[in-house]
């Protein structure tokens, strides 16, 4: 049995559950803050579209639909998620976030310059856009006042692990190394676990306070 889809599915589910907990926190806030309930519904829709697109694209073998259709669906879903929370509560974009986004896109530039027009370049562009939008959502979470210093540190580590994943995945796609593939997924899984832990803590804290 091929373990790659199972490991990939584990990473996807962990990430989706983490962002789902953030949505549940918004639902708790909806009891006392106007606009939260609408943001929660869009959050859930975005999570569903993203999850369905990623699972159908990578887990179901030989889909009759081209891969870029699922990539577009994943981007639409994560954009819905980010736009809903940013509309609800804006946050200041910090230099560290801009540096991380630039670092996520840098592998695309490196591969295009030194490896030429490879068949994986389109996938690298998708990863760069997807991870950049994820970083926006993560940094929005960092601006929540209910976080302690320990949780903020965990989220910062998680954000840099997202950047590391982008680099490892880019290198793996150009070298076709199975060990690099699993290493990249484990880096992303660790980032998702840190995010999930912080999201669960904030949700429990909001449940006690509200």
Report which of residues 109 and 163 the model is more confident about.
163
Provide the pLDDT for residue 61. Answer: 55
Q: Is the pLDDT of residue 1 over 50?
A: no
The arithmetic mean of pLDDT across residues 121-131, rounded, is: 86
Total of domains in the chain: 1
Q: Rounded to whole angstroms, how far apart are CA atoms 26 and 33?
A: 9
Cα distances (angstroms) measured from residue 86 to each of 39, 81, 104, 174: 9, 9, 21, 35
Pinpoint the alpha helices (H) of the chain: 4-29, 36-58, 67-88, 95-114, 121-142, 149-175, 178-209
Q: Which residue segment(s) compose the domain that 51 sits in? A: 4-209
The arithmetic mean of pLDDT across residues 90-103, rounded, is: 86
pLDDT above 90: percentage of residues in the chain: 21
pLDDT tens digits, 31-72 = 555 555 667 788 889 999 998 888 888 766 555 777 778 888
The arithmetic mean of pLDDT across residues 164-187, rounded, is: 84
pLDDT, mean over the chain: 82
Provide the pLDDT for residue 116. Answer: 57
Of 22-26, 27-31, 62-66, the range with the highest mean pLDDT is 22-26
Residue 164: which of 140, 195, 187 has the closest Cα? 187
pLDDT above 70: percentage of residues in the chain: 87
Of 34-48, 129-143, 165-179, the range with the highest mean pLDDT is 129-143
User: Any idea which residue has 């879903």 for tokens?
Assistant: 77
């Amino acid at each position: 049995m091929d373990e790659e889809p199972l490991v990939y599915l584990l990473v996807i589910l962990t990430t989706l559950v983490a962002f789902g907990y953030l949505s549940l926190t918004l639902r708790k806030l909806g009891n006392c803050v106007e606009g939260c309930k609408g943001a929660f519904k869009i959050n859930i829709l975005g999570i569903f579209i993203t999850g369905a697109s990623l699972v159908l694209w990578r887990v179901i073998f030989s889909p009759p639909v081209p891969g870029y259709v699922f990539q577009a669906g994943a981007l639409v879903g994560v954009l819905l998620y980010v736009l809903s929370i940013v509309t609800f509560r804006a946050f200041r974009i910090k230099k560290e976030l801009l540096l991380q986004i630039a670092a996520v896109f840098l592998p695309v530039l490196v591969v295009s310059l030194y490896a030429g027009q490879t068949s994986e370049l389109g996938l690298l562009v998708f990863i760069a856009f997807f991870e950049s939008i994820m970083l926006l959502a993560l940094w929005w979470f960092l601006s929540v006042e209910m976080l302690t210093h320990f949780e903020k540190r965990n989220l910062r580590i998680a954000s840099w692990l997202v950047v590391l994943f982008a680099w490892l995945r880019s290198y793996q796609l150009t070298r076709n190394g199975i060990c690099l593939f699993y290493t990249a997924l484990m880096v992303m899984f660790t980032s998702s676990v840190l995010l999930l832990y912080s999201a669960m803590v904030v949700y429990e804290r909001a449940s006690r306070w509200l």
